[in-house]
Amino acid sequence: MNKRFKPMSSDISDRRGLYVEVRNNDVNRALRRLKKLMNSEGMVKDMRKNEFYEKPSVVRKREKAQARKRWLKTVEKNKENWQ
């Protein structure tokens, strides 16, 4: 048996990802809670990022711009310590 792959379990609790129980037929509350869970897990951001294909050059350009923004933020933050 291949040790790299875990065999599928027959227990449904092992295969379940995010879930929200609906209590007292209150679907709206369960939907709000599910949205909050998905947002905290970062799924919404990931889905929006993967909604359209992004060329590798555009990905590099975006990541470089984000790194520059982070760098300028730390420089500006540490600017008062140097003077």
What is the C-alpha to C-alpha distance for residues 72 and 10, in angstroms, rounded to an integer?
52
Q: Are residues 47 and 57 in the same domain?
A: no
What is the C-alpha to C-alpha distance for residues 66 and 72, in angstroms, rounded to an integer?
10
Q: Are residues 16 and 39 in the same domain?
A: yes
Q: Centre a 10 Å sphere on the Cβ of residue 20 and count the other Cβ atoms it contains.
A: 16
Q: Are residues 76 and 45 in the same domain?
A: no
Model pTM greater than 0.85?
A: no
Task: Return left, alpha or beta for 20; rule: phi > 0 is left, psi -120 to 50 is alpha, else beta.
Answer: beta
Among all chains, which residue has been given the structure tokens 């975006």?
A: 62
Going residue by residue through the chain, which has 83 residues, state the pLDDT in tens, using 9 for 90 and above.
455 655 555 555 555 678 888 999 999 999 999 999 999 988 888 999 899 999 999 999 999 999 999 999 999 988 877 76
